[in-house]
Amino acid sequence: MRDSRWVDPAPLEVARPRLPWWTMLPGWVKLVVSPIALAWVLVWFAAKVIRLCWYYPALMTLLAVALWLDWWAGHYRTGALVSVVVMALFVWWWRSVDSYTRWCRWLRTEMRRLTIYAWDWRTVMRLSNLTGTAKGREYRPKLKRVRSEGWRDKVRVKMIKGQAPEQWAERASGLAHSFHANSCRVRVVKPGRIELDLIHSDPLTRPVPLPDLTVSADLKRITVGRTETDKPWRIRLLGNQILVVGVQGAGKGSLLWSVVWALAPLIKTGMVRLYGIDPKGGMELGQCPEVFHKVVYDNGPDAVALLEELANDVRRRAGNYRGLRRLWTRESGEPFTLLIVDELADVIAYQTDKKLKERAQSAIQTITSQGRAPGFATLALVQDPRKEIVPFRNLFTTRIAMRLDEPTQVDMVLGDGVRERGAEAHEISELTPGVAWAKEDGKREPVRARAFYATDDDLWDLRAYVNGWSFEVLPFAGGEAA
């Protein structure tokens, strides 16, 4: 007898698989859409291949050659050939890093772009809060061109809408650590495009020797050193006023004598005339006094009288040029005048005589504000850039920051916002005197460079060149000069 408690189970319903929506389309629709979809896939694939060939031409070429060799010669021969090539590149890099970096820069660039930047780009952008979201969609900065120069990588970036370069500058330190660099600088290329300079080493660690004395010089671009990109560091003297700031031992003397060295041919011919003030008793300018038309070794009445003399010459020459010319030229018949003040603070700030201090400040302000057109320039060197020490910093159109003590001093010398773009003058090493950041009015980006290093023998050669001395090696007999 059947138990009434037993109930037949309900028949199980077989779950039908859920088919994609396009399978339900009519046949004629599939016939029209399928070629279009196939064409779209082919175009998408071709675009990806073109993009890879655009950013990685060398790697894609090597890959194509390897595949062809593998098809033509087989796996073993291709592997052996690749091993030999890799070993040869390693030996080349081991024996001559400079030539390897110069000739294989393209390969290094593509490898670094692929393995360092493209590999972690999305993650770094998200963690650095440099992405944006709108209407549920994430917008991410695009990685563009990468160029490796050995000591730095230049990474071109297309920012997202509404983004500013200042946001990248605030995160420069984090970006440097994320991409295994020592530091990161942000430069604006054009609207919407920036370039990250990811620094790996310092190319200015070695002193730069003075070049040979030339027979001419251009006052619009005299060479005083080398930039970190291994280009000549040139500064303008004609129509310019220069302020150099740096602590003791920063190498201000190197820049001073580099300027004088570049002007030596014009000093010798009388086309350039130097005036100097060295309140330290001639410890610097006294090493080569022959190059100066007049030099004073204190900050007292003689120094003030020299400044007032130059200020009067500025006014006199400006009056003579009225109606004839708007800027000094060689055809004027008067020499271009350069005033060098080795320690400006001793003359205009530390002077105990209030009247002398006021007279010195007034004279220097006249020279720096009115001397551009009549052919007067000033090269002033100082250790303390505070407004209380140099109240007229804005009159110097080119400002050079050597090693400084505090980050705020960088803004005092080079201007607000320059430090955020990488001009970390307070981080210059004590082992690299002469390294500086230079900022010229009218140019947004500062320049990092190192001035020539002038030895005592170089200064002796400079004295001999300006004075026209000639030396002959005399034979010695019995320990005495013959």
User: Which pair of tokens denotes residue 80?
Assistant: 């052996």
Please tell me whether 248 is known to bind a ligand. Answer: yes
Q: Do the beta carbons of residue 280 and residue 343 sit within 8 Å?
A: yes
Please tell me whether 220 is known to bind a ligand. Answer: no
Q: What is the DSSP letter of 446?
A: -
CA angle 416, 418, 419 (to 5 degrees): 100
Please state, in angstroms and as integers, the Cα–Cα distance from residue 284 to each residue in 132, 279, 341, following that order: 57, 10, 11
Quick one: CA torsion of 111, 112, 118, 123, rounded to 10 degrees?
140
The three-class DSSP label of residue 304 is helix
Please tell me whether 468 is known to bind a ligand. Answer: no
Q: Where are the alpha helices (DSSP H) in 371-431?
A: 407-414
Question: For residue 449, which of 198, 255, 284 has the smallest C-alpha distance?
Answer: 255
Sign of CA dihedral 308, 306, 297, 271: positive
First to last CA, the chain: 147
Q: Do the beta carbons of residue 243 and residue 393 sit within 8 Å?
A: yes
Please tell me whether 249 is known to bind a ligand. Answer: yes
Please tell me whether 253 is known to bind a ligand. Answer: yes
Please tell me whether 439 is known to bind a ligand. Answer: no
Please tell me whether 417 is known to bind a ligand. Answer: no
Please tell me whether 251 is known to bind a ligand. Answer: yes
Question: What whole-number distance in Å separates Cα of residue 240 and Cα of residue 141?
Answer: 40
Binding residues: 246-253
Binding residues for ATP: 246-253
